Structure 1
Amino acid sequence: MSRLLITLLFLALFVLAEWYGFQAIRTVLQHASPGTRRAAAIGYWVLTATVWALATWAMMTRHTSPAPFKTYLGSLPVIFLATKLVVLVFLLPEDLYRMGLLAVRSVMQPSGTSAGLISRSEFLSRLALVVGSLPFISLVWGMAKGATDYQVKRVTLRFPNLPASFHGFKILQISDLHTGSFQSKEPLQRAVRMINAQNADLVFMTGDLVNNVATEVEEHIEALSQIKSELPIFSILGNHDYGDYVEWESPEAKRANLQRLMDNHAKIGWRLLLDEHHQIERNGEKIAVLGVQNWGAQMRFPKYGNLAQAHAGSHGAPFKILLSHDPSHWDAQVVNYPDIDLTLSGHTHGMQFGVNLPGFKWSPVQYAYKEWAGLYQRGKQYLYVNTGLGFLGYPGRVGFLPEITVFELQRA
């Protein structure tokens, strides 16, 4: 489907949603005074225009200060549009029914008489507005509370080839911090305290430390450097870490930004794995940690990673963990390396919106990614997709809350 057609479909949907939102309010207020109806109509369109104007300004100037605040402004149309789309779902079928019934009556009525217009249901309009308020309330709650409502998830995994010395070994994964989205230092400081309370043996950060530029993380270096681990803390790069979504003055400026980001990993105290591996030894037994640069199966995401290079020389370790930011890498390449036992990814965020209940999970992102949240298994290989600690775009989370994952490895 061409980009032009997608744009036209979006515009048509936008116009319909705005119109039906207005029609629902008109119907509900049909018995009010003319002054009230006029004020409501003016208020509706002024509010709509203001929201879109502020969001447009925020998006056009998003790379200038205060960028996190502009993220909130840019999300306002999404919140209002979600409500109006629900109203559209309720009222459009009713209008189609009304038009069909009107057409039938026009045919059946005797010549020279009018079929008459069928009025819109006030009850249905009220119901549409009430139901439409649910996504509005959810999305506002997601911004006010959900964005930093950190959750610790615990996963126990059993492997027959895990060296005995690593039985009970505790790994902690965080991902997608997107430090450029935070308006203050407090949320990440609180997250660090929760991370340290888990007393993990080994900590991983699986990409997207920033949104776009290296400087975004620098005010958080002090907090992130407080993460404790008995062993080195390993990190990798995600698609947002390369500066690919910024218009740079020159290729040299882009390279300098990436180098600065790598330096910031070192300042935090993390060991950044760039298509390489590191072996961890306990009582003479070893496991290998492999880390690749971003590699996404979808065309719009970069394929910087070199798994063959990271894997080379790791054969001496009977158990291997791979850090790869994009979960689509697992199905495209990783499963062809049967000695990689566990892959840890992030990237999807669970789209920061969905339903996440025991035994049932749903998010729109599942239509783009086969593996998008939680644990997956193929044969003896496992993939875990962490839904992220930070947020991007919509400055909130509904359903898929920010996640700290703790794995306990056991020998089967």
Structure 2
Amino acid sequence: MLRWIIFLVIFLILDLYAFQAFKTVSKNNWSHLSYWVISVLVVGNFVFNYYGFNRRDGFSHAHAYAFGFFIAILIPKMVLFLGMFAEDVFRVPLAIYRYFTEGDAAKGNYFAARRQFVSQIALGIAAIPLVSVLYGIYKGKYNFKVLKYTLTFEDLPNAFHGYKITQLSDIHSGSFDDIEKVKYAVNLVNEQQSDVILFTGDMVNNKAEEMHPYMDVFNKLQAKDGKFSVLGNHDYGDYVTWNSEAAKHQNLEDLKIIQKQIGFDLLLNESRFLEKDGERIALVGVENWGTGGFKQEGDLKQAASGIKKEDFKILMSHDPTHWEKVVIDDDYHYHLTLSGHTHGMQFGIEIPGWFKWSPAKWRYKYWAGIYEEMGQYINVNRGFGYLAFPGRVGMWPEITVIELKKGTSIT
């Protein structure tokens, strides 16, 4: 209870400061009332959904939208707070000076009026994140992008020159609220006509049953050499409370069955071979392995026990910290690793070929796109779905298409 009181007090202070900018620009009482009504409704809905949150019930769509709309007003109010506070850096010392120099002559009006142009600038800047977040909730979460890369390798088997891989990651089916948009994305995947589809984990948020409405949709994914998958940290059901360990275990077994039913060959610390014209490449899949408190079920040595050191290898590992901490230095030399997990934090700014930024970079060294270390590559997929925040801003849902070429450079 105390933490909620502290939260509300802090937010009220933030709100009162932000309202100063609004009041300086608009003198209309109805607009003032609207400001407070919207603020109370959004914050009230957030508190209603999260006060006494029960992990047994899990994270619902109502929780997601309560959080999303709260973020939509929080960031603009923080911008306004900073603008008004910056102005007070000058207003407060001036008020103190007037208090001591003018005394009673000032009749208690020591503070200079807020300057309208400062409030206008603050409101203009605050409008950018407000519009962006609302767009991200309304459309951005289904703004699927096909990102295409060509990677070249000297030791790629000749038969696999021009081989196309589609990577999907982080479906998080429990978050979806528009099945038609998901169908559109699946059709978009099939339009790529890749040789193989590789899914790198987090099919659900917590429970296998989240996939039930979407099984017929994802069952339509097609690739002539098959569909393969690995588990992500959310697939184990660790983020909700279960009636028993047996129930939790059964949930994971149910998810494994679902993956098989929709045509995925789930790799649990094991490998397969993709064969073409008498040549082959090794496909290795590990269970989740991550740093920072995430589950470490992945066993690279076990997964690679059936392949040879000289084989051309593609590794599927959900968390890119596995590549950073384990894979890069492994003497087997994994030519290409496919990961996801970060979502690019579902928020960022990208100008392809020029600039890429997200708060995710403060947590992960490898957080979105292609990276190369020691002659080995990783692609960190930004994710197909979304989690917690019901939207995406700048970090759009991703379908990755990687074409393998025999050569010496990356394009």
TM-score normalised according to structure 2 size: 0.91
| Partners of 2:340 and 2:317 in 1: CA distance | 8
Range with greater deviation from structure 2 (39-48 or 86-95) = 39-48
Cα distance in 2 for residues equivalent to 1:269 and 1:65: 27
Residue 143 in structure 1 maps to residue 137 in structure 2: yes
Does residue 410 (structure 1) correspond to residue 401 (structure 2)? The answer is: no
For the residue of structure 2 that corresponds to 1:336, the secondary structure is coil
| Cα displacement (A) at 1:48 | 1.8
In angstroms, what is the RMSD of aligned CA positions? 2.4
Residue in 2 that maps onto 1:191: 185
Aligned to 1:47: 38
SS of 1:308's equivalent? helix
In structure 2, the partner of 1:155 is 149
Q: 1:304 aligns with which of 289, 297, 304?
A: 297
1:354 aligned residue: 348
Whole-Å Cα distance in 2 between the matches of residues 289 and 163 of structure 1?
14
Task: String of CA shifts for 1:311-368, please: whole Å, max 9, x gaps.
Answer: 2231165211111111111111111124111110001111111101121011111111
Distance 1:272 1:131, change over 3 A: same
2-side partners of 1:384 and 1:226: how far apart?
25
Aligned to 1:276: 270
Contact 1:238–1:293 (CA under 8 A) maintained in structure 2: yes
User: Following the alignment from structure 1 to structure 2, what is the Cα–Cα distance between the partners of residues 182 and 21?
Assistant: 33
**Which of 262-271 and 65-74 deviates more?**
65-74
Alpha-carbon offset, residue 42 of structure 1? 4.2
Q: Structure 1: how far apart are the matches of 2:151 and 2:93?
A: 58
The question of whether the paired residues in 1 share the 8 Å contact of 2:154 and 2:406 is answered with yes
Q: Deviations over 1:210-253 (max 9, x none)?
A: 11110001111111011111112110111111111101111111
Q: Structure 1 residue 389: deviation in Å?
A: 0.8
Quick one: distance in 1 between partners of 2:135 and 2:10? 25
Say which SS state the counterpart of residue 389 (structure 1) adopts.
coil
Question: Would you say the 8 A contact 1:58–1:71 is kept in 2?
Answer: no
**Identity of matched residues, %:** 41
Summarize the alignment of residues 29-48 of structure 1 with structure 2, pairs less than 5 Å apart.
Answer: 29=26, 32=27, 36-37=28-29, 39-48=30-39
Deviation of 1:49 (Å): 2.1
2:260, 2:342 → 1: CA distance?
26
Taking the TM superposition and a 5 Å limit, the aligned residue runs for 1:246-265 are 246-265=240-259
The residue that corresponds to 2:393 in the other structure is 398
Q: Distance in 1 between matches of 2:167 and 2:178?
A: 23
1:112 Cα deviation (Å)? 6.8
CA contact (8 A) 2:96 2:110 kept: no
Amino acid at match of 1:390: G
Q: Distance in 2 between the 1:8 and 1:69 partners?
A: 22
Residue 402 of structure 2: SS of its match in structure 1?
A: strand
How big is the shift at 1:9?
Answer: 9.7
CA distances 1:158-199 after superposition (whole Å, capped 9, x unpaired):
011111111111111011111111113211211111111111
* Alignment partners' CA distance in 1, 2:282 and 2:5: 50
49 and 12 in structure 1: CA distance in 2 versus 1, 3 angstrom threshold: closer
Q: Which runs of 5+ in 2 are unaligned?
A: none
Answer whether contact 1:293 1:306 (CA < 8 A) is retained: yes
Separation (CA, whole Å) in 2 of partners of 1:279 and 1:9: 57
1:125 aligns with 2:119: yes
SS of corresponding position for 1:48: helix
Alignment length, in residue pairs?
400
Which residue does 1:80 correspond to in 2? 73
Equivalent position of 1:327 in the other structure: 320
Q: Helix, strand or coil for the counterpart of 2:401?
A: strand
| Alignment match of 1:71 (pick from 41, 56, 64) | 64
Deviation, structure 1 residue 15:
4.1
Counterpart check, 1:25 vs 2:22: yes
Give yes or no for contact 1:286–1:317 (8 Å, CA) kept in 2.
no
Give 3-state SS (helix, strand or coil) of 1:230's partner.
coil
1:14 to 11, 26, 32: 11
Of 220-229 and 115-124, deviating more is: 115-124
Q: Does 1:171 align with 2:165?
A: yes
Aligned-partner Cα distance in 2 for 1:285–1:220 = 36
Name the residue aligned to 1:341.
335
* Residues 79, 136 of structure 1: 8 Å contact kept: yes
Where 1:333 maps in the other structure, the secondary structure is helix
Question: 1:9–1:323: structure 2 CA closer, same or farther, 3 Å change rule?
Answer: farther
Query: Does 2:51 match 1:56?
Result: no
Distance 1:310 1:13 in 2: 50
| Aligned mates of 2:9, 2:157 — CA distance in 1 | 59
Residue 97 of structure 1 pairs with residue 90 of structure 2: yes
- Amino acid across the alignment from 1:46: V
Q: Distance in 1 between matches of 2:337 and 2:215?
A: 27
Structure 2 counterpart of 1:219 = 213
Tell me, in whole angstroms, the C-alpha distance in 2 between the residues paired with 1:336 and 1:9: 47
